[in-house]
A and B are shown apart, each in its own frame.
Chain A
Amino acid sequence: MTLTAENVFDKLKEELGDAILNYEFKEYKMGVKKPRTYKEIWMEIDKNAFRRAIEAIFKIEYPHLHFITGEDIGESIRMIYSFGLFHEHPWGEVSIVIKFDLPKNKLVLPTITDLMMGAETNEREIREMLGVEFDGLKNKRHLFLPDDWPEGKYPWRRDEYGVDDMIKHTHKSVKDIREERGEQNG
């Protein structure tokens, strides 16, 4: 049996209480001849309640993980988790997006790989790209970046830990490099 977006939210609210800082139901109209609306739940939560929120979702039904991503917003990293519930039912999927800010001086999150093995890929990517450490993640090998990638450089970061210096170097022209070396141009 499926639940509506409102019912799912009520269940999450019961578990999380005040840890939900902000929420919104986004409504979209889909279809031309038989237009119907479907709703997505977008909520901002307290970062300390993250594990509780994930467990609450798993309690309702085993979800499908759409993606995990993060954004460097200055002082902190905004994490975004997107799950889909009731994905085996026509028109029934309830999409839940959970957002929270993680301060840069304490970039640690509990892993969800113990609940869902498939989340390993996502967590490994976030770890190497943003430098977020996942507590309990077993395989900490690089996913996309080479094994000898310089430590402490995270491609998605926009601060001093990002790869700006490397990118600048990549776009240097042959002329610039020859000038730096004192070689003759031409």
Chain B
Amino acid sequence: MAKTTYYVPIGPIHPALKEPIRVEAEVEGEKIVKVDVKRGFAHRGIEYMGMKRNAIQTLYLSERICGICSISHPYAFVIGSEKALGIEAPPRAQYIRTIIAELERIHSHILWLGVIAHEIGFDSLLFWTWKGREKVLDILEAITGNRINYSMYMIGGVRRDLKESHIRVLKDMITYYWEFTEHMKEVFLSDPVYKARTRGVAQVSKDVALKLNLVGPTARAAGLRMDIRQDIPYDAYADIDVKAVVPQDIVGEARGDAYDVTMVRIYEIEQSLDIIEYCIDNLPEGKILAIPNYIALLNKIKKTEGEGIGAHEAPRGEVVHYFRYDGTRDGPAVWKVIAPSYNNINSWGYCLLGAEVADIPVVVAYIDPCMCCNDRVAVVKDSTGKILDYSILHRKAVEKTRALEKELGVMK
């Protein structure tokens, strides 16, 4: 009998995916023989919007690229802009920026640990990890005023200072998370079921990781010592001498699978705690903004010509922003954003080949994908092939609401 293959389309909207992306797999029995990934379902043309606005407006727009790592994009943005414009942030601001970025890494990594537990089917573990994540979110809210989209960074510094009371809660938090990570190591790394479900799944060797241009914990799990905080240090990282966390330093070998990624992420939470501790113990005094007057800052941007690249090691991997200011406008003339998922999704096609259908969620989740970061136009057509633009879609939505109101008898 001839072999029959079946086509399994997953997404763009699917219960296993939190965000829209389409994985087209061809299966032979339980084995996947061909994979194609289609992105672009959440492309919003943010770079185009940014090039029409002034730099401060664009900075806050960049924060909206991603909700989870909402400090990573502004961080790369301010570094890139400062390099292009020749502005230097005051020492205190540099340390505060580092603290906020590390707090975000803790919450993002714990979030991922919950997601991977959910994908495997351990929902109680998801609830437990996410309960533990609340503490860091509360602290972020206490410092910045928001649980997400902190609006904390500014070109040449930060907008809010760190008070004595914040330092006190940060110290409490460090003690709490040291204990919490010990528990996580036990629950995730020693659990035989978790190990059976993740060992050998989504395996990438060091060589392949390099060729696929992978970044972040995904690359580090494969044994690649790559970390922007170590390779091109910036802000307080330059004083700390951060070392990339790789499995070979922890257990002696790197296999580059979903289990190793879990290990790297848990140990990186501990590394973040160390970094925060160093920063609060050595927090320099002084001002927090190089140019406190925003009008003066915009005027400087308008008169400065230059280009620069800002790179930040986000929780998921490196975020790179390229800028060119042309000296005629108060915003960037060119702005290009590269998010970690942009590179890391390359690994799906490789990892899914030969894998089982049930492993798709683990492979998809192991890189901690973020479609909002990755996609930054959608065209909707009706049955006759006519393109429906925003106003028509809006009208249709309003019409539906009106019809429902009529049906339910609540029309005024």
Contacts and interface: CB of A to CB of B under 8 A. Distances in A.
B141 interface: no
A95 B324 CA distance: 17
Q: Is the interface of A mostly helix, strand, loop or mixed?
A: loop
B213 A65 contact: yes
B212 A89 contact: no
A40 B231 CA distance: 13
A144 B43 contact: yes
Given A34-B238, A38-B232, A64 B226 contact: yes
A84 B219 CA distance: 15
Contacts of B234: 30
Interface stretch (A12-20, A49-57, A101-109, A165-173): A165-173
B39 A90 contact: no
A169 to B, nearest CB: 6
B6 interface: no
A38 B214 CA distance: 24
Interface in B192-212: 210-212
B405 interface: no
Given A173-B391, A174-B394, A31 B239 contact: yes
Nearest to A89: B231
B232 A67 contact: no
A64 B216 CA distance: 12
Given A121-B342, A144-B43, A177-B391, A87 B226 contact: yes
B94 interface: yes
B354 interface: no
Given A35-B238, A118-B343, A142-B40, A62 B210 contact: yes
Contacts of B284: 32
B224 A67 contact: no
Nearest to A90: B230
A137 to B, nearest CB: 14
Interface string A79-93: 010101011111111
A146 B391 contact: no
Choose among B39, B40, B226, B346 the residue with the greatest number of A CB atoms under 10 Å from its CB: B40
A86 B230 CA distance: 11
Contacts of A87: 226, 231
Interface in B276-300: 282, 284
Contact of B346 (A86, A93, A118): A118
Contact of B94 (A32, A64, A143): A32
A34 B239 CA distance: 6
B320 A66 contact: yes
A118 B211 contact: yes
A95 to B, nearest CB: 7
Interface stretch (B105-113, B158-166, B263-271, B374-382): B374-382
A91 B318 CA distance: 16
Contacts of A62: 210
Contacts of B311: 66
Given A97-B309, A172-B391, A120 B346 contact: yes
A88 B224 contact: yes
B391 A33 contact: no
A144 B391 CA distance: 23
B243 interface: yes
Contact of B391 (A88, A116, A174): A174
A80 B322 contact: yes
B389 A69 contact: no
Contacts of B230: 90-91
B336 interface: yes
B246 to A, nearest CB: 10
Nearest 10 CB-CB pairings of A with B: A118-B213, A31-B238, A144-B40, A93-B231, A69-B336, A32-B91, A88-B225, A30-B238, A118-B212, A67-B338
Interface of B: 36, 38-40, 43, 45, 48, 83, 88, 91, 94-95, 210-215, 224-226, 230-236, 238-239, 241-244, 282, 284, 308-309, 311, 318, 320, 322, 324, 334, 336, 338, 342-343, 345-346, 375-379, 381, 389-392, 394-395
15 contacts: A32-B239, A66-B320, A67-B320, A69-B336, A84-B231, A86-B231, A88-B226, A89-B231, A121-B342, A121-B346, A144-B43, A145-B377, A148-B381, A171-B390, A172-B389
